[in-house]
Amino acid sequence: MKLNTIIMISTVVINTVLGSFAIAQEDTIKVGVLHSLSGTMAISETTLKDTVLMMIEKQNKKGGILGKKLEAVVVDPASNWPLFAEKTRELLAKDKVDVIFGCWTSVSRKSALPVLEELNGLLFYPVQYEGEESSKNVFYTGAAPNQQAIPAVDYLMNDIGATRWVLAGTDYVYPRTTNKILEAYLKAKGVKDEDIMISYTPFGHSDWQGIVSDIKTFGSTGKKTAVVSTVNGDANIPFYKELGNQGISAEDIPVIAFSVGEEELSGFDTAPLVGHLAAWNYFQSVESEENDAFIAEWKKYIGDDKRVTNDPMEATYIGFEMWVKAVEKAGTTEVDAVEQAMIGVAVPNLTGGTAVMNANHHLSKPVLIGEIQDNGQFEVVWETPDTVIGDAWSNFLPSSKNLISDWTAPVSCGNFDVKTAKCSGQNF
């Protein structure tokens, strides 16, 4: 055989192999994973990356979706908020992902949001947030304020008897907006200005001695004082340690947290924290068949019996299961079709009930309040009798009390003003 003939045949073979490889690569459904694997938020977000990978592996064992296997595309925005926008663009424009699961902080979500809307991407956001937003391109599977913050304050007020309030948070959009809502809510309940203390610290804050001392002084007036904490990330570890150092017990000044779950508690000694509280929509300690199966699956996947589950993991699980159902219902991964197919989808949650995706892109969720135990788990001390529909817009802020979100026809709007009957845009 002549040399040029051999070269020609070899080239055809190589091109055929490469072409088949390209087709194989294109024949997957790509799932973007947008969570910080380094930096101050890695303590919380790395687990969610692993949760998505576990769900993808499980779905692929079932045969994938629409006859295609799922392929994870993992990026690390490194707790760098502007980098979330860059990584979102990379996932959508370069990697051509069909969906993204990711973000933790609201500032990271708001960084990604303009890119999602520009390129018509789809994000499942699995963490409690401040509300005051509704985008066609985002499904909010974490708690809105009426599914966490407001019930937490009601519990402290009605069951604990708190009349004096410390609103302590990390200095970014979620704590500031949530505390703005809570301050308005407290004042509507008759709480006076002098009975509300508000404090903010930067991400990764470590020197809590002065702030905890101020909290201790604020709570020494004879009125029952409680701390509502929106402190986020690894700053929680020194915060709780300093509470213990200064002898602040849950009996003296209870702390209820919105960003501290089982994963965060596994990082330090919980003995001084017994009795302090957290408000979530799920705890690992909840007894249900669905939860038992999820915990067992997680421990097997991660290969560590000591690893825990938490609320954002459940929100990730629910979002993923709903997305699979919506894709199968729509018969495509095309974003506009999946977005409409998502509305009304119901899947089992892990607390023994049912999660439903509503027309405002928020879930119906139970609200649970748990008390920290010395083993790092939570004992549920209060829960709503039924699920609560997430409210995108707060009823306690003048700027949003008349707004609703409804992504079904004929409204198809994220901030529809019920008084003017006008939509002021896609989101705030």
**Segments forming the whole domain that contains residue 217:** 146-280
Residue 229 lies in a domain: yes
Residue 106 lies in a domain: no
Give CA–CA dist 333/99, Å, rounded: 8
Burial class (CB in 10 A: 0-12, 13-18, 19+), 227: buried
Give the domain CATH number at 255: 3.40.50.2300
DSSP codes joined into one string, 351-375: TSSEEEB-TTSBBEE--EEEEE-TT
Residue 255 lies in a domain: yes
| 14 band by pLDDT with thresholds 50, 70 and 90 | very low
Residue 204 lies in a domain: yes
Report pLDDT digits (tens) over 167-218.
999 999 999 999 999 999 999 999 999 999 999 999 989 999 999 999 999 9
Give CA–CA dist 148/367, Å, rounded: 6
pLDDT at 417: 95
Residue 395 lies in a domain: no
Q: Is the pLDDT of residue 228 over 60?
A: yes
- 311-330 vs 289-302: helix axis angle to the nearest 10? 100
Give CA–CA dist 294/289, Å, rounded: 9
Give CA–CA dist 33/84, Å, rounded: 11
Which of 280, 354, 349 is closest to 316 using CA atoms?
349
Residue 109 lies in a domain: no
Query: What total number of domains does the chain contain?
Result: 1
Give CA–CA dist 198/186, Å, rounded: 13
Kindly state the average pLDDT of the residues 410-423.
Answer: 94
Whole-prediction pTM: 0.89
**Bigger pLDDT: 131 or 6?**
131
Report pLDDT digits (tens) over 52-102.
999 999 999 999 999 999 999 999 999 999 999 999 999 999 999 999 999
Instruction: Pull the structure tokens for residue 260.
Output: 């501290």
Share of the chain above pLDDT 90, in %: 85
- What phi and psi values does residue 400 have, to the nearest 5 degrees? -130, 0
Give CA–CA dist 108/80, Å, rounded: 8
Contact 196, 167 (CB under 8 A): yes
Q: Is the pLDDT of residue 150 over 90?
A: yes
Report the half-sphere exposure of 163 (CA within 13 A, side-chain side): 8
**Count of beta carbons in the 10 Å neighbourhood of residue 20:** 10
Give strand pairing partners of 165.
Answer: 196, 226
Give CA–CA dist 232/248, Å, rounded: 20
**Count of beta carbons in the 10 Å neighbourhood of residue 67:** 8
Residue 53 lies in a domain: no
Q: Is the pLDDT of residue 232 over 90?
A: no
Q: Is the pLDDT of residue 21 over 60?
A: no
Residue 321 lies in a domain: no
Instruction: Pull the structure tokens for residue 221.
Output: 């007036």
Report pLDDT digits (tens) over 359-385.
999 999 999 999 999 999 999 999 999
Which of 210, 201, 213 is closest to 246 using CA atoms?
213
Dmax over CA atoms of the chain, in Å, equals: 99
Burial class (CB in 10 A: 0-12, 13-18, 19+), 311: buried
Q: Which residues contact 428 (CB under 8 A, 6 or more apart)?
A: 132, 133, 400, 415
Give CA–CA dist 325/55, Å, rounded: 13
Q: Give the E-state strand segments of 183-264 in sequence order.
A: 196-201, 225-230, 255-257
